[in-house]
Structure 1
């Protein structure tokens, strides 16, 4: 059931460009990988990374010699590196940061098929590359999640206690909440960002357009309200889901944020959590749903008990009615006993009444059993 639900959710959640907007080739003079249809740049590395899910994803690293911070960017839906290439290089230049962007499994020239768990493995592979290939430290990394990319960004953020900061660009509360205004988290939902954001300990910047037609503005607003370390949000009036980069305030506010983060001391005072502590934090999200499920079961039990109580009261009512009839019958019999001539008739009447009471009891028990079976069937 779980795998089938995940597969169904993936069909609704992921829309990789088809066909991909780029291809990857080897530049013969340098031996480096390149992305097609863009001017080759010496400050851009194109790499292929293996994930723990067995896929090979394509990533690009934009180097800025003046940078002290690195942006790990998880792009939105219906986009790939070919479409994001120029945005990434421009952001690196204007923000003064290194930037790592990557394609999810099944996007662009990355192998495999997209799924929630695969995107988690994808961002882990990209982060590992930053550490091992480029020597970038955790406390110098800012995670940037756009739209559906907010899912893998927050999943990694809650696992990195010394992370410098997080940027959420048109983020989602969860996959299901994009389609329906549900009030609680269901087990089959994907990207449960609403339950993860309270576990992020670094500063968080949220950017959202007020006229977003894909992910309602309320998603970004609620995530910001749930942040531990809130940074001044950017609510772009009139902005929709795909045009926030066109607003002058967008780049200006990002520059201000990066400058503020650079002045903050590295997050080194927090102790490194043990594996048990991290696992306990992650399980808290699932325990919330289990608690809600248990409450629902108790509510059903109370409802079932109430129905049985109604059935018992109905039976008691019939019993009281029968008792009242018996009392009247006894009164009549007492009067009849004064006449010896009616003794024979009284004996037969008592026999008939005894049979009637037994019939009432049988019918009463039968009705009770039927009601109980009905409730059991409904509960099942």
Structure 2
């Protein structure tokens, strides 16, 4: 019996040590696990955006780099908050369509992503997001906000502390810690995660009309995140759920056909 007790105690100790090691690894490497900033930078010359310009927007003694184009008369600027992967410039097809339909846009890389120097953190992303919005507001055009994936965090935060005409959230999370908890249910992510992006809290202070788009086959951010978030929206416009849509194909599935009239309705509302 003594030998068996020692074996059981030894096994329990090993399990506890292994669990502690897993938690420690996640804590010290969490931003490397959470963010995916690597990717090539597309230049404006490689796109059809002949009227756009490179911009360097100051924030906290540094800069974030992006592209800007003014809108046609009567149209708004889309302040675009990118997703987690690579550079904003990879999505130039979207900006080209915005411009083709008369919309202006500003899009950029958060600090630590390919086009902007610095290191990644929630606070840095939020500071960058507010600085870009404030920069765009000085142009004198109506502003609408589009946040994609992890960009649903800074976009919702900005909408909660600034005045825009509308907020569109594409494949949003309820919060980043919700997604982490769904992915790692056996780890105490709520206790150790630093960049939690509590969209479910920020959305409560958003006065702008909100459209949420999500796909039922999204395996990165499960569709119930978007559905539950929409229930919290104070000023609901539309919940657009795409059967079979995944995390990266809503543009191909026609999100712009939902976004364009949504933004036009919002801009037309006094």
Under a length normalisation based on structure 1, what TM-score does the superposition of the two structures give?
A: 0.59
Q: Are the aligned partners of 1:66 and 1:97 in contact in 2 as well (CA < 8 Å)?
A: no
Partner residue, 1:46:
54
SS for the counterpart of 1:124 is helix
**Alpha-carbon spacing, 1:194–1:7, altered in 2? closer, same or farther (3 Å):** farther
> How far off its partner does 1:78 sit?
0.9
Which of 7-16 and 70-79 deviates more?
Answer: 7-16
**Alpha-carbon spacing, 1:39–1:176, altered in 2? closer, same or farther (3 Å):** closer
1:295-327 CA-partner distances (Å, limit 9, x unpaired): xxxxxxxxxxxxxxxxxxxxxxxxxxxxxxxxx
Partner residue, 2:136:
130
1:217-296 matches, within 5 Å, as 217-248=223-254, 250-265=255-270
- 1:222 & 1:13 partners in 2: Cα distance? 22
1:174-253 matches, within 5 Å, as 174-181=175-182, 188=193, 190-248=196-254, 250-253=255-258
Gaps of 5+ in 2: 1-24
Partner residue, 1:173:
174
1:52-72 CA-partner distances (Å, limit 9, x unpaired): 2x3321111123323431110
Q: Are the aligned partners of 1:10 and 1:116 in contact in 2 as well (CA < 8 Å)?
A: no
Q: Are the aligned partners of 1:150 and 1:168 in contact in 2 as well (CA < 8 Å)?
A: yes
Partner residue, 1:331:
none
Matching of residue 57 in structure 1 with residue 71 in structure 2:
no
1:259-302 CA-partner distances (Å, limit 9, x unpaired): 2212211xxxxxxxxxxxxxxxxxxxxxxxxxxxxxxxxxxxxx
Q: What is the number of equivalent residue pairs in this alignment?
A: 240
- 1:68 & 1:6 partners in 2: Cα distance? 45
Partner residue, 2:9:
none
Partner residue, 1:21:
41
**Highest RCO, 1 vs 2 (Cα 8 Å, sep ≥ 6):** 2
Partner residue, 2:145:
143
- 1:228 & 1:218 partners in 2: Cα distance? 18
> How far off its partner does 1:109 sit?
2.0
Partner residue, 1:70:
77
- 2:148 & 2:192 partners in 1: Cα distance? 24
**Alpha-carbon spacing, 1:263–1:6, altered in 2? closer, same or farther (3 Å):** farther
- 2:133 & 2:164 partners in 1: Cα distance? 12
**Alpha-carbon spacing, 1:158–1:9, altered in 2? closer, same or farther (3 Å):** farther
**Alpha-carbon spacing, 1:92–1:79, altered in 2? closer, same or farther (3 Å):** farther
Q: Are the aligned partners of 1:16 and 1:108 in contact in 2 as well (CA < 8 Å)?
A: yes
> How far off its partner does 1:45 sit?
1.3
Gaps of 5+ in 1: 23-34, 266-380
- 1:85 & 1:256 partners in 2: Cα distance? 21
> How far off its partner does 1:93 sit?
2.1
- 1:8 & 1:199 partners in 2: Cα distance? 32
SS for the counterpart of 1:12 is helix
- 2:192 & 2:27 partners in 1: Cα distance? 11
Partner residue, 2:119:
113
**Which structure has greater helix proportion?**
1
- 2:28 & 2:134 partners in 1: Cα distance? 27
Under a length normalisation based on structure 2, what TM-score does the superposition of the two structures give?
A: 0.81
1:361-372 matches, within 5 Å, as none
- 2:245 & 2:251 partners in 1: Cα distance? 10
- 2:27 & 2:74 partners in 1: Cα distance? 39
